[in-house]
Chains A and B, each alone.
Chain A
Amino acid sequence: MIEIKDLHKSYQMGSNSLHVLKGINFNVKKGELVSIMGSSGSGKSTLLNILGILDEADEGSYILDNTSIKNLSEKIAAEYRNKFLGFIFQSFNLINYKNAIDNVALPLYYQGVGRKERNDKALHYLEKVGLANWATHLPNELSGGQKQRVAIARALASDPKVLLADEPTGALDTKTSYEVMELIQNINDEGKTILLVTHEPDIAQMTKRIVDLKDGLIINDTRIEPVKAKAHV
């Protein structure tokens, strides 16, 4: 699903060049649940940005679902993001003046899906995250856990190949974190490929594979038997 070869990325900081990614080689197969760990400055956010087609690598290749991601125009990049990827953010990033169902339907809107179908699909995914009854509520009427679940429904709405989660539990308490992880595990069980960035070891333990990043290089890549989040809830 994801093939990364010898990925380099540096940022110009004034006259200095900051080499953030120093040759990442990394493959993800369909149906995997991978956590990317690392301290701040390890390059994990940069990697996620490149994976999310939000940023482009200087060197190396990135193939997503047999499509080479290189030199894309803004328009094509937007289209690929919409088609291939679902984003889950630490701070949820729901649009605060749109109710839950409209937030979930937003990726479909940008796909040009008709209103009726859009709302049907959005409601379906809200049901999936257990929030069908909250469809018409605005984000500020929802709890943190509920917001993140709406965000997950939104990420799923366009039926992407890969879900990218950036610290999905970073803004949640432990109990809610585990509830969200349970949902993520369930989605993975249905066959969705999921990558998540975290610095919390207990969250990483709930994934099937842990990739450790340090100073722009992968220092460890191990498959583990995931801890079921359900047991902790």
Chain B
Amino acid sequence: MNSNLFNKDLWKEIIESIRSNGFRTIITAFGVFWGIFILVLLLAASNGLKNGILRAFDGTATNTVFVWAQGISKSYKGLPKGRRYQFDVKDAEAIRRNIKGLETVSPRNRLGGYGAANSVQYKLNSGSYSVYGDYPEISTQQSLGIQAGRFMNYSDIESNRKVAIIGVGVKNELFTNGEDALSKYIKIQGVSFKVVGIYKKMGSGGGDAIEKQREIYIPFTTYDQAFNNGSKVGFFAITADDNHTITSLKEPILALLRERHNIHPEDKRAIGNFDLFEMFNNISGLFIALTGVAYFVGFLILISGIIGISNIMLIVIKERTKEIGVRRALGATPANIRSQVLIESLFLTIISGMAGVSFAAFLIAILNFILDKIDDPDMMFANPSVSLINIALALFILTICGLLAGLIPAQTAIKIKPIEALRNE
């Protein structure tokens, strides 16, 4: 009956009594509005920062470990320490065969080693770029947004074709005056390669965003032949499938490689590795903490808003003592009065909260619009947003707070005796 939340009359009562105190209601509601506004904005900002940082991993298979050969630091089986060794394509085969749960094992070579750049010429233009020898699978581990032409395939590998896929950075520097790069020949260390594709890497926020567009990919086998590499492998990029984490498979892989290259099982320095998954998780963990802080701070601000509502409801009830007395005299039960006060504060809280959420969303939308205009891959802030789950959580908090805000005033209200109505001023 009267205690039914969906009773139209009850809502009419509540809206009437809120409207009778219009200005004060708005001032009070502002506290909650502001609290939830800050909360949502903080959440969005932490999310935006997270998106900005994690953009560096966009399109990259994060469940990946990179493995390379380093100097041996322990003598083993009569072999001295300080010995150099190199990985081989057969190691890739062995890893694939012996370690279960891997998605891709890509042997890779980089011309001149890590950090080296190589002179590349086209007609009179020249520049220094990183050159990789790769298998086609590398495109599942890195985001290579092919802009024109194609990426390498297995017939390139099998027939050692001298083809190259170049980054837009390379294209812009070598092919000036808007010249088309496809089917043109570039010279890498004096060897001619035909450009078959142009890529533009997605994501890659962070410092080397520009550098990542200045790379050249050629087939692994062609690399071996053209640069006299034999079947050596510079490093492996190994990705686990969705059911395994690479962190859990890393040790078996390293153990296998140690065995194959006669490395002491305790020699931790012989094989270099970089676990992208672990790093990714560390960064993700940081953002979980950041979101926690956002909730904490937002919640504290919200509480001060709630106290404001509670306060003003107390004042309103003091002012309406007579009215409540009259209502009681006319037959309102304490439960009627309590539910009216509770729902009134709940209503105030939720409406102002929704306004806060809406306003924050509006601001975030504007921010997103502006951020979209600034297409800077180095920007550490992208797509600030809040998930529906967070909004639902915020509304849940609001509901609880609204009820809490109404509790003390409601208890005060039901203590008013109907006798108050008869007392004449």
Contact = CB atoms under 8 A, between A and B. Distances in A.
B421 A87 contact: yes
A223 interface: no
A81 B19 contact: no
A107 B422 contact: no
Given A48-B422, A54-B418, A97-B19, A81 B334 contact: no
Contact of A107 (B2, B330, B335): B330
A106 B422 contact: no
A96 B330 CA distance: 15
B365 to A, nearest CB: 37
A112 interface: yes
A83 B331 CA distance: 8
Interface string B330-345: 1111111000000000
Contacts, number: 85
Interface in A92-106: 93, 95-98, 106
A154 B8 contact: no
Given A54-B417, A54-B419, A74 B333 contact: yes
Nearest to A83: B331
B326 A78 contact: no
Interface in B324-368: 326-336
Contact of A110 (B16, B323, B330): B330
B425 interface: yes
Interface in A55-95: 55, 74-75, 78-79, 81-83, 87, 89-91, 93, 95
A54 B325 CA distance: 10
A93 B334 contact: no
A161 to B, nearest CB: 14
A115 interface: yes
Contacts of A97: 16-17, 19-20
Interface string B406-425: 00000000100111011011
B330 to A, nearest CB: 5
B112 to A, nearest CB: 83
A13 to B, nearest CB: 16
A45 B420 CA distance: 12
B1 interface: yes
Contacts of A93: 322, 326, 421
B9 interface: yes
Given A54-B422, A115-B8, A166-B422, A87 B330 contact: yes
Given A97-B20, A98-B16, A110-B2, A55 B419 contact: yes
Contacts of B333: 74-75, 78-79, 110
Given A55-B419, A96-B20, A97-B19, A82 B8 contact: no
Interface of A: 45, 48-49, 52, 54-55, 74-75, 78-79, 81-83, 87, 89-91, 93, 95-98, 106-107, 109-112, 115, 154, 158, 166-167, 170
Given A78-B334, A81-B329, 6 more contacts: A45-B422, A78-B418, A79-B331, A97-B16, A97-B17, A109-B9
15 contacts: A52-B418, A54-B422, A74-B334, A78-B334, A78-B418, A79-B333, A89-B422, A93-B421, A110-B331, A110-B336, A112-B1, A115-B9, A158-B330, A167-B424, A170-B424
